[in-house]
Structure 1
Amino acid sequence: MNEIQLEKISFDPGKSFKYFSPRLRNTFFWHFHAEYELVYVEADAGIRHVGSHISGYTKSDLVFIGRNLPHLNFDYRLRSDYHQIVIQLRTDFLGSAIALSPEFTSIDQLFKKAAGGIAFHGETKAIVVEKLKQMAELNSFQQLIRLIEIFHLLAGSEETEILNDEEINLSFFLRDKLRMGAIYEYIDANYNQKPDVNIVAAKVNLTTPAFCRYFKKQANMTFTDFVNQYRIDLAKNLLMQDKNVTEACYAVGFDSLSYFNKLFNKITGQNPSVFKKNWFNNFQPDLPLVKTIRQVVN
């Protein structure tokens, strides 16, 4: 589908949350839902695309996603084996207790911050991941208690990264989910084949000049610049998977190695060979990657 999808989530009778391990790596599932979602994934390297934030993750990722915040499935394009745990909460999870009970004040604040998406790292991630994995062996009531413990830990952590820190970005996505979803899906499907601005403009029912104005206003960059940054981010993931520079260059759609090196250096501040060397010399799996694409939506 060439549009963002509304995921309709069903829950088992008597359950206020859903605990499962989806596998969608061959599907571009750019979607949103009314429920909060906690996602953990173990993989060599993948793409984190939440709201207007696009970046890479390596080894593992732990993200708490707020209501109606568009995001891509975290296992998209994963080629090696991986493990994923997803917890989705009913919209009335714990009823009014979170907002009214003093004991839940910090958790209430966590849920509000999740409107922009929150990534966790360091010791917080390690402890929470262990608790998430243990939940599979617990009964429903024990799982609920464990989940509250997890949210309490996350609420008190400073090992966090807010993925979308401008509320205006999120309000835009709520207004224009379908159009931006179509644009993102087209870019993802064609980034290595020279995406044509005329084609994507037609897909969203705009003339090419109108589309260029629209996209520049929403993304604060041209369509070409956005595609190039998307390519460079994918190239970074390939380099972190030990692909060589030439392989990464051609895999993401560049015809010229010299131009790829120049653009990579412009966007990241270092050439791809240095980036790869530094990554493997200084790799610390629990440090969040620097965001490589920040849309500013007006």
Structure 2
Amino acid sequence: MKIQKEIIDFEKGKSFKLFSPSLKDCFFWHYHPEIELVYVEAINGIRHIGKDISGFTNSDLLLIGSNVPHLNFDYKIQTECRQMVLQMRENFLQDIIDPVPEFDDIRQLLERSYLGLSFSGDTKRIVVEKMHSLMTTGNFDSLIGLIEILQILANSNEVKELNNEDTRIKWFLNDKIRMGTIYDYIHENYDKKTNVNHIAATVNLSTAAFCRYFKKQTNMTFTDFVNNYRINQAKIFLLKDSSVTEVCFQVGFESLSYFNKLFKQHVGETPSEFRKKHLAKIEG
């Protein structure tokens, strides 16, 4: 469960690979020198890239830079999840891009990808369509298609930087605590009253030291992270047959009014509003 280096194999004669992984029951907290473009489609999920831990609804398109630790995006998703992952050989465009001024925008995009970039709107829609088309084109045309995708991303203003500092692996290598142990504890206990003293003891830290460690790793307190996880799980249950009141207790909240208030703070709408809007999309 500690950070692993993923070894990526490429087909001979190909500079990138495009595939659809499925690792739902695996905690794969990993990094690799290859830059990666990921599209994930699910009712709801959690992304963890570098120090950023945040939720997404419906889908997400992400560009992840070289050696940035990240968790597999289908981890513990309980509903249908589809993914496309595009991984580029290390430095495969560098010799082409650096001397050519027309590629300046792409070069700058790849240079800032270490922050973790999330794309939305028309950018996401167009790029996903082009990623699908890459699966049926020949080697040369697919390479040109990838360059077109990178140019679209480079010129987009529908982008969010997920980290505000360098979180490449050199920063994480000093961390000896297994984040996977913490994730598993939260997943198994989010519907109960979580005990920070118990999880601190599990990873051999005092409660105060654990709280400092967790805040440094995630930029969130342990309580805030658990509540964030509960809200993300609540979104899944709200789109099933449970009522708002049932969901409140299913995810571990003891007060309906507090659940409603916290949900609106995190999501921007009440549980009832969220359910009505997204159920209409699913049923439509």
**TM-score of the superposition, structure 2-length normalised?**
0.84
> Over residues 183-220 of structure 1, what are the superposed CA-to-partner deviations in whole Å (9 max), with x where a residue is unaligned?
33433343234333233223433222322233345545
CA distance in 1, matches of 2:73, 2:215: 27
Distance 1:167 1:26, change over 3 A: same
Letter in 1 for 2:114: A
Q: Deviation at 1:79?
A: 3.9
User: After the TM superposition, which residues 193-232 of structure 1 pair with which residues of structure 2 at under 5 Å, given as runs?
Assistant: 193-232=192-231
> Are residues 1:121 and 2:120 paired?
yes
CA distance in 1, matches of 2:100, 2:244: 54
Distance 1:220 1:134, change over 3 A: closer
Q: Which residue of 2 aligns with 1:293?
A: none
> Cα RMSD between the aligned structures?
3.0
Q: Secondary structure at the match of 2:191?
A: helix
Answer whether contact 2:118 2:160 (CA < 8 A) is retained.
yes
Distance 1:135 1:223, change over 3 A: same
Q: Deviation at 1:152?
A: 1.0
Answer whether contact 2:47 2:53 (CA < 8 A) is retained.
yes
> Over residues 5-24 of structure 1, what are the superposed CA-to-partner deviations in whole Å (9 max), with x where a residue is unaligned?
32222222222211111112
CA distance in 1, matches of 2:81, 2:212: 40
Q: Which residue of 2 aligns with 1:4?
A: 3
Q: Secondary structure at the match of 2:131?
A: helix
CA distance in 1, matches of 2:114, 2:234: 29
Distance 1:239 1:165, change over 3 A: farther
CA distance in 2, matches of 1:240, 1:166: 35
Distance 1:16 1:211, change over 3 A: same
Q: Which residue of 2 aligns with 1:56?
A: 55
Q: Secondary structure at the match of 2:135?
A: helix
Letter in 2 for 1:58: T
Distance 1:262 1:124, change over 3 A: closer
CA distance in 2, matches of 1:162, 1:177: 27
CA distance in 2, matches of 1:43, 1:263: 22
> Over residues 100-124 of structure 1, what are the superposed CA-to-partner deviations in whole Å (9 max), with x where a residue is unaligned?
3212211111112211111111111
Q: Which residue of 1 aligns with 2:73?
A: 74
Q: Which residue of 2 aligns with 1:142?
A: 141
User: After the TM superposition, which residues 266-285 of structure 1 pair with which residues of structure 2 at under 5 Å, given as runs?
Assistant: 267=266, 271-277=270-276, 279-280=277-278
Letter in 1 for 2:132: K
Q: Which residue of 1 aligns with 2:27?
A: 28
Q: Secondary structure at the match of 1:69?
A: coil
Q: Secondary structure at the match of 2:98?
A: helix
> Are residues 1:246 and 2:251 paired?
no
Q: Secondary structure at the match of 1:31?
A: strand
> Over residues 268-291 of structure 1, what are the superposed CA-to-partner deviations in whole Å (9 max), with x where a residue is unaligned?
5654334445x44998xxxxxxxx
CA distance in 1, matches of 2:176, 2:107: 27
Q: Deviation at 1:64?
A: 0.8
Greater mean alpha carbon deviation, residues 228-237 or residues 170-179? 170-179
CA distance in 2, matches of 1:194, 1:46: 22
Structure 1 residue runs of 5 or longer lacking an equivalent are: 284-298
Q: Deviation at 1:154?
A: 0.9
Letter in 2 for 1:18: K
CA distance in 1, matches of 2:67, 2:52: 15
Q: Secondary structure at the match of 1:138?
A: coil
Greater mean alpha carbon deviation, residues 62-71 or residues 45-54? 45-54
Q: Deviation at 1:65?
A: 0.8
User: After the TM superposition, which residues 133-212 of structure 1 pair with which residues of structure 2 at under 5 Å, given as runs?
Assistant: 133-167=132-166, 172-173=171-172, 175-176=174-175, 178-212=177-211
**TM-score of the superposition, structure 1-length normalised?**
0.80
CA distance in 2, matches of 1:82, 1:221: 27
Q: Which residue of 1 aligns with 2:97?
A: 98
Structure 2 residue runs of 5 or longer lacking an equivalent are: none
Distance 1:159 1:221, change over 3 A: closer
Give the fraction of aligned pairs with identical amino acids, expressed as a percent.
Answer: 55
Answer whether contact 2:29 2:70 (CA < 8 A) is retained.
yes
CA distance in 2, matches of 1:269, 1:133: 32
> Over residues 38-90 of structure 1, what are the superposed CA-to-partner deviations in whole Å (9 max), with x where a residue is unaligned?
01123333323322323333332211111222222222334444432111112
Higher RCO, Cα 8 Å, sep 6+? 1
CA distance in 2, matches of 1:275, 1:244: 12
